[in-house]
Amino acid sequence: MIGQTDLAGSFTLHGTSMTVNRMGYGAMQLAGRDGNKLVWGPPRDIDAAIAVLRESVASGVNHIDTADFYGPHVTNQIIRKALSPYPDDLVIVTKVSVRRGEDGSWIAAFSREELTAAMHNNLRNLGLDVLDVVNLRSMLSIHEPAEGSIEAPLTILAELQQKGLVRHIGLSNVTPAQIAEARRIAPIVCVQNHYNLAHRTDDALIADLARDGIAYVPFFPLGGFTPLQSGALSEVAARLGATPMQVALAWLLQRSPNILVIPGTSSVEHLRENLEAARLQIPPELVSDLDTIG
């Protein structure tokens, strides 16, 4: 196990007392796979999944990203088994507005009944009385934001916040217009969108959020189900004596101080590799080489 480190510095979520290390952990890969059903059912080795979570926290990770529709219910139940009672500084961020079909499909779930049920499922499976942060995930498009009002579901989420079920609200898979719409309804502490070295649509948005002190949390930081591959990335990694994935994570951490990274893995060895990326410094001339990828 690596020693505890500040993991690339820390960030305090806007308007909160929650300060997290910028290198976090995404729990999606803790769920299993059943044929073509991705993120479905239990993992092959639950003890290994528990070991990954415990080593994450022991190594300084205090920001875990999850969702009760991973599995469904699987990742949250593993998190509870591995880490409850939770450390005082641990921030667990979850997502709502999605349910899973029996065929493994991802289905929009924006009604009051569905959002309320999702909130209670997260509370029950994580073993919490109140959720730290809940992201409303837009399902107007699966992996890329699409314009359209999110006022109705965000208003419901704000009402659930007023009832004490969640402390703070974030957004996922959203456009700048949707963020502006949401901020007129409730304070927003974080935005989680698809972003990495090769997918940089949100460059301007990241800068805008940084000016307002709002965290930006890229999903698929390493390419998701299709890992990043680039000759330029491999060349920079070789020059730095690092792996390409470590360079991709380090680039994100250097990209902007409001970026929080949440790489996921079900392997302790891979976890250690990811955490080491927080110590990697990329010289400006090599950052320029990496910028050509996007």
C-alpha dihedral, 16 to 221 to 115 to 138, nearest 10°: 110
Look at residue 7 in the predicted model and tell me its pLDDT: 77
Binned average pLDDT, 10 residues per bin, the chain of 294 residues? 63 96 97 94 97 98 98 98 98 97 95 98 98 94 88 98 98 98 98 95 97 96 74 94 96 97 96 96 95 86
Give the C-alpha separation, 105 to 96, whole Å.
15
Look at residue 4 in the predicted model and tell me its pLDDT: 44
Active-site annotation holder among 25, 70, 86, 216: 70
C-alpha dihedral, 43 to 44 to 48 to 52, nearest 10°: -30
The β-bridge relationship of strands 19-21 and 10-12 is antiparallel
Look at residue 226 in the predicted model and tell me its pLDDT: 65
Q: What are the structure tokens assigned to 230, written together?
A: 């680039």
Distances (CA, A) of 36 to 32, 40, 105: 11, 9, 10
For residue 14, the tally of other CB atoms under 10 A from its CB is 17
pTM higher than 0.75: yes
Active site residue 70: yes
Instruction: Confirm if 108 and 139 have CB atoms less than 8 A apart.
Output: yes
Contacts of 86 (CB under 8 A, 6+ apart): 92, 128
Could you read off the pLDDT of 118-135 as tens digits, one per residue? 999 999 999 999 999 999
Instruction: Confirm if 202 and 143 have CB atoms less than 8 A apart.
Output: no
Look at residue 225 in the predicted model and tell me its pLDDT: 61
Give the C-alpha separation, 163 to 60, whole Å.
32
What ranges make up the beta strands (E) of 148-238? Answer: 166-172, 188-192, 215-216
CATH code: domain 18-291 is 3.20.20.100
